[in-house]
Structure 1
Amino acid sequence: MSDQVGDGHVEESRPGPGFFDLANDRAIRLIGTALSLAFALAVLAMLAFILFINERSAIDVDLFFKILPQFLEPLWVVLQVFLIGSVLSVFFGIFVGLARVSKSPITNGISTAYVEFFRGTPLLFQIIVVYYGVPALWPPGEFPFTTWWFPAAIIAFTLNHAAYEGEAIRGGIAAVPDGQMEAARSLGMSYTQGMREVVLPQAWRNALAAIGNDMVILVKDTSLLTVIAAPELISQFRDVNSTYFDPWTPILILAFAYLAITVPLGKFVRYMEQRADWGGEHE
């Protein structure tokens, strides 16, 4: 369609969205909603069949409450490893990230090699190296630790996750415009002051989602400590299952135990992201 205007020119008029366009948008939303509900119902039905309907996998309520206290101490172990490992990995990860953006070829090269090694080898391999390899460096009977699994777990988790935190920090720094550092230097700040006062706070905001996701992964990674006989949740499950020959009841407890940590942790990370969104609108 075209409209005649006063100066004799013809202006093409653009038609608005037609009925079929709106119908397609509405249909897509309805299809998405229907698929989401169908998926949720299918998962719930499968869980109900596994946990309550199928005689071979039905939950023993009496056994559930009987063995529940046995999982409290392993849950505390997981919390300790998570809290200490996450604090140390973030602390050292900041230095790894700063080293990754260093203009010194030696500093940058060493940090790059560190990141590539600990991201390129399995965490299980690193746990085995620390737990079995480090004591072998001492003469027999002279290793100073009698209970080595806990320090070994902290060392392995810190070394591994600091590499991931370092890459998250490096990406956060790279996302900060170069003009921020230039503005800081123009105000008389040194490079170190500008990095600390201007760049790093913005980099932290940019990296927060990746760091929070890695913290959730760290919680789940504690299950690997079963290979060094650490008294964590998976080891406790194996002990209970070998005693009662009922896997599904302790499996349910395992699910609740891990979710009791990861769900609040995820909510806390989202809260921190909202608080860090300086330029956004908060509800």
Structure 2
Amino acid sequence: MSMIQIITRYGNLLLLAMGQTLLLALCGLFFACILGMFFGLLSVLKNKACRIISSIFVDVIRGVPMIVLAYFIYFGVPYCLNNMMGFNFTLTALQAGTVCLALNCGAYMAEIIRAGILSVDSGQMEAARSLGLPYSRAMIRVVLPQAIRTMIPSIINQFIITLKDTSILSVIGFPELVNTAKNVVANSFMSFQTWGIVAVMYLIVITILSKVAKIVERRLNRGRK
């Protein structure tokens, strides 16, 4: 079976799997932004306990391999809840994958957001406070809008990393591109051609996202001048 025949027979299946991959990456990034914003803000507060909590979250999540985190969330969490608390609790592969990506990406997003906030001149916060704005409002209305401009390219790059990390979640059975490709190989016995197609699909999507990140970064740099 040639590569053209694989595309003809399994092309729609692979495209659907790429859609599932993008959906999982977007869901993971959405919740990662929420987690990252929360822990990123904690990390810049003057309260030492808040900074410690943020540091523990980031260090623990970044220190655990993602495949271990995926197994723990998909198998370990339901097992503990069902056996220790008597719950009848299960997670779908999409739910577990989203949680796994959100935690993993959230730890890196927290650092991106922390760095973005710290990149804003401290005088901006002092000026806002001198005008009578409380800390929270000064952060939301003055500091964060400036910080987000520097964060956007890094956030897009993190999305690219998250998109590639979805391939790890084939271990819990989520029908993303790599898992679907395994099934295609099992049915067609054409490993080289199938994985070549998958590599090209990833390359196209990631190249487009990389170009978008560069365009956004150039426009933001022009906007600062």
TM-score normalised to structure 1 length: 0.73
Q: Report deviation, 1:65.
A: 1.8
Contact persistence 1:74–1:236 (CA under 8 A):
yes
Q: Specify which of 97, 102, 108 is matched with residue 45 of structure 2.
A: 102
CA deviation after TM superposition for structure 1 residue 142, in Å: 5.1
CA distance in 1, matches of 2:57, 2:224: 35
The corresponding residue for 1:17 is none
> Which residue number corresponds to residue 62 of structure 2?
119
Q: Do 1:84 and 1:154's aligned partners in 2 also have CA atoms closer than 8 Å?
A: yes
1:268 Cα deviation after fit = 2.9
Amino acid at match of 1:129: F
Decide whether aligned partners of structure 1 residues 275 and 91 sit closer, same or farther in structure 2, where only a CA change above 3 A counts.
farther
**Structure 1 Cα separation of the partners of residues 39 and 220 of structure 2:** 22
Give yes or no for the alignment of 1:134 onto 2:77: yes
Pairs within 5 Å for 1:1-283: 59-139=2-82, 143-145=88-90, 148-277=92-221, 278-280=223-225
Deviates more, 1:265-274 or 1:61-70: 265-274
Unaligned runs of 5+ residues in structure 2 are none
Letter in structure 2 aligned against 1:106: A
Over 3 Å counting, the alpha-carbon distance change for 1:158 and 1:131 in structure 2 is: same
* Structure of larger gyration radius: 1
1:134-181 Cα deviation digits (max 9, x unpaired): 110233795344x62110001111011111001001111111111111
**Shift in alpha-carbon separation, 1:186–1:142, aligned structure 2, 3 A:** closer
Does structure 2 retain, via aligned residues, the 8 Å contact 1:64–1:249? no
Report the AA paired with residue 188 of structure 1: G
Query: Residue 3 of structure 2 contacts residue 194 of structure 2 at CA under 8 Å; is this kept in 1?
Result: no
Question: How far, CA to CA, are the matches of 1:149 and 1:198 in structure 2?
Answer: 40
Give the fraction of aligned pairs with identical amino acids, expressed as a percent: 33
**CA distance 1:265–1:60, change in 2 (3 Å):** closer
Tell me the amino acid that sits aligned with residue 217 of structure 1: I
* Distance (whole Å) between structure 1 residues aligned to residue 3 and residue 202 of structure 2: 20
Which structure 1 residue ranges, 5 or more long, are not aligned?
Answer: 1-57
Matched positions, count: 222
Deviations 1:83-121 (A, max 9, x none): 111111112211111001111111111111000001111
